[in-house]
Amino acid sequence: MLKMKNKKSVFSAAALGAVLSVSLLFSSSVSAIAPTYAKWASRTKVIYASSGSIEWAAGAAKWKNATNFNVSTGGTDKSYYAYTVNDSSVTWDGICSTTVNAGIITSATLKLNTYFTSQPKYTTAIINGVTGHEIGHSLGLEHTGIVETTSIMNPYTFDSSNVPVRALSPSSSDITATNSLYPLLQSAATNASTGYHSADGIYLSPSWAVYYEDEEALTKAADLVVKGTVSKEKGNTFKARGEYQTYKKEVRLEVAEVLKGDISLLNSSISVAQMGGSDGIVTVYGEHTTHLNKNQEVVLFLRKTEDNTYIPINEDDSIFVINQTGGINNISTQKQLDINTLQ
């Protein structure tokens, strides 16, 4: 049973529905054009690609050939650094971390995850689409919404039936967004909208390997689906200083129901780690991460990692918050979860 922690605000279902539909209308998740968050001071940049150099070169060429941003590979400077990793503990096939100071990108590190890209469904064209996507982030572009399948800035590579989702080259709106940041005449430059990047710090922008369309697809992909309450914000963890994609915030979750997975976890607690966090000096933000707070009641679709903590699949995509009226909504998009379909 759900315990109501806070009964002071009670909406009627109709009023709540009206609020939700308004917030959906203005949700950034339906952006047709990729928002921009920051930009380099110069529009000519050379990437140091220490591994996966062919794929990074192909990704860079997509932008160099289509936009004013003159990006290529062959550099030796780690301030714009791209390489491959093999990481089975994440749900991204590529990731970009940029350092942003007062709206200016001062460094970017891009990773291609061969744990995914070595799978047969990742053709050369698809892989080059992933590197192109991450290079798009490194130019200062955020994601478009899932509906915008003509954009290379769509967040997902495949849907859960292995059908490719993302366009493999910049769309006309991707080109417009890029050229507005990097006009041929410097004097015509516009500032990037700060969006969620308003603070100085490191920003993580993934390419998610798979888009899970609904509860059923998420459940199928999850090791563990639970309902529970956040009992503690355990704080920051990271594997190594500067390894920004390992920066996490952990919470302790008291498991009230196990909807899929290890039933022995019922009435025990688990650790859930979300992207982003701090090492005391540098703050790291995840583009798709809303950190959980103490006392929140949630439904989570989780993947187990080697160190016995759990991660939410594709971060916010698999985090649903139980509100005061008993409704269960996605933490970011407010999309409603029908928990009855899980039981």
Residues that bind Zn ion (CB under 5 A): 205, 207
Cβ nearer to Zn ion, comparing 114 with 207: 207
Strands 44-49 and 70-73: parallel
CA 343/CA 341 separation, integer angstroms:
6
Cβ nearer to Zn ion, comparing 111 with 303: 111
- Residue where the block lists tokens 């888009």: 211
Minimum distance between the CB of residue 137 and Zn ion, rounded to whole angstroms? 5
Cβ nearer to Zn ion, comparing 98 with 205: 205
Cβ nearer to Zn ion, comparing 156 with 182: 156
Beta partners for 80?
108
CA 334/CA 19 separation, integer angstroms:
10
Minimum distance between the CB of residue 95 and Zn ion, rounded to whole angstroms? 8
Cβ nearer to Zn ion, comparing 205 with 289: 205
- Residue where the block lists tokens 């990108």: 105
Q: What are the helix and strand counts (H, E) for the chain?
A: 6, 16
Relative orientation angle of helices 124-139 and 53-64, to the nearest 10 degrees: 60
Minimum distance between the CB of residue 168 and Zn ion, rounded to whole angstroms? 14
Minimum distance between the CB of residue 269 and Zn ion, rounded to whole angstroms? 32
The tokens describing 286, both together, are: 């995840």
CA 115/CA 167 separation, integer angstroms:
22
Minimum distance between the CB of residue 288 and Zn ion, rounded to whole angstroms? 9
